[in-house]
Amino acid sequence: MENEEEWNMERTLSIIKPDGVKRALAGEVIRRFEQAGIRIAAMKMLHLTKARAMAFYAVHRERPFYESLTDFMSSGPIVVMVLEAEGVIQRNRDLMGATNFKDAAPGTIRHDFATDIEQNVVHGSDGPDTAQTEIAFFFSSLEMV
Ligand code: IDP
Ligand code: MG
């Protein structure tokens, strides 16, 4: 390896969902990422339209919760971030906890703050391919530092 620090350096997309922003949890979520040594390579706040939420979650369009999930995701502002660190895709998933907060381990974001299987505070890409697609959904290369 010429530069071992770049070994397995990854980027992933993180979203603080409308419930997290409304409940003033953005600072706490960002603190957890920073505390874990994860670098924030890009960040912005925006409000998804229903159509944009449907496009983002298109992979779930056959699921019974698709309508409700996309209503929720377009119900208020969200914070979207590109996180960068070694193995950050899995590390972010570990910090988030299980989809259902009832199954999430103590100390994870969803265990500590989620109130509902749908309103679960954060989103994180689930693999290298989705990370790339999801980052490109929100950010151009010029917006990443
Ligand atoms: P993930 O966010 O942990 O990757 P996914 O299975 O990809 O979980 O589901 C995407 C989002 O859809 C979840 O974060 C949650 O907001 C919502 N969701 C997942 N399963 C259910 C369900 O059974 N009922 C309602 N909403 C759900
Ligand atoms: Mg998912």
Q: CATH number for the domain including 62?
A: 3.30.70.141
Determine, yes or no, domain membership for 19: yes
Q: Domain tally for the chain? A: 1
Q: Choose the residue to mutate in 72, 117, 121 for probing ligand 1, maximizing ligand atoms within 8 Å of C-beta.
A: 117
Determine, yes or no, domain membership for 22: yes
Q: How far apart are CA 123 and CA 66, in angstroms?
A: 15
Domain span including residue 7? 2-140
Contact 3, 12 (CB under 8 A): no
Determine, yes or no, domain membership for 145: no
Residue spans of the chain under pLDDT 70 = 1-6
pTM listed for this prediction? 0.96
Q: Choose the residue to mutate in 16, 65, 67, 71 for probing ligand 1, maximizing ligand atoms within 8 Å of C-beta.
A: 65
Q: How far apart are CA 106 and CA 42, in angstroms?
A: 28
Which residues surround ligand 1 with Cβ inside 6 Å?
Answer: 60, 65, 69, 99, 117-118, 120, 123, 126
What pLDDT, on a 0 to 100 scale, did the predictor assign at position 8?
85
Residue 41, CB-side half-sphere exposure with 13 Å CA sphere? 20
Contact 91, 131 (CB under 8 A): no
Q: How far apart are CA 106 and CA 53, in angstroms?
A: 29
